């Protein structure tokens, strides 16, 4: 289910979610902790922009610790699948291996924070991994998989993982401003125009 909350209500909403959901092993995330998480999250997005990538940052939190973080690496790797969420998922897999944890258990108790609504590809991956909760900043009106274009998060999709809850709107204005700044500048990785010059 996709929900959107005013900024001042989101801290309370997230804390109440953790209090009321017995499937979570988290303690309630207080405003101070969420603020700290968001600083790390926005730093990932800023780093992406500095590297000429679409500014999206992502964190994956399991039992109150960051077990994966990522930023877009599409241009850097020349791989269209290297979205922030995919990079973070790879880090979680590495973390599980290093700590001898079952990946299924970890993903099923992990919350994903991302500056922009996950695209359809990433939302499908999160559903297959059974991530229970996604908290994101701004909507993704072109490729959003959590309700803006398709609702991979909660639609009836047999044999495709588990539906997950989405909470949108956290630090959305900052996420939008970063995207605007990125798209105003010339993208050095964009293909060269093939328009013919006039003689």
DSSP 3-state helix, strand, coil percentages of the chain (rounded to 5)?
40, 20, 40
Is 85 considered catalytic here? yes
For 74-88, letters b (16+ CB in 10 Å) and e give bbeeeeeebbbbbbb
Q: How far apart are CA 45 and CA 40, in angstroms?
A: 9
Sorted by sequence, the CB contacts under 8 Å of residue 28 that are 6+ apart come out as 15, 16, 18, 19
Tell me which residue of 151, 161, 156, 152 sits closest to 131, measured CA to CA.
161
The residue from 9, 64, 76, 85 that is catalytic is: 85
DSSP state of 197: P
How many distinct helices (H) and strands (E) make up the chain?
7, 6
Distance CA 148, CA 141 (A): 5
Catalytic residues: 85
């Amino acid at each position: 289910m996709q929900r959107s909350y005013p900024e001042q209500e989101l801290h309370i909403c997230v804390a109440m979610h953790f209090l009321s959901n017995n499937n979570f092993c988290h303690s309630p995330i207080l405003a101070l902790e969420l603020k700290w998480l968001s600083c790390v999250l926005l730093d990932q997005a800023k780093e992406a922009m500095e590297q000429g990538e679409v500014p999206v940052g992502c964190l994956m939190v399991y039992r109150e610790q960051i077990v994966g973080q990522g930023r877009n690496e599409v241009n850097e790797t020349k791989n269209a699948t290297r979205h922030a969420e995919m990079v973070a998922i790879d880090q979680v897999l590495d973390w599980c291996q290093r700590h001898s944890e079952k990946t299924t258990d970890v993903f099923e108790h992990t919350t994903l924070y991302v500056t922009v609504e996950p695209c359809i590809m990433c939302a499908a991956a999160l559903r297959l991994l059974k991530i229970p909760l996604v908290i994101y900043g701004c909507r993704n009106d072109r490729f959003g998989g959590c309700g803006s274009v398709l609702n991979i998060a909660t639609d009836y999709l047999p044999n495709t993982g588990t539906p997950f809850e989405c909470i949108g709107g956290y630090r959305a204005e900052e996420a939008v401003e970063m995207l605007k700044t990125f798209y105003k500048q010339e993208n050095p990785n964009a293909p060269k125009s093939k328009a013919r010059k006039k003689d």
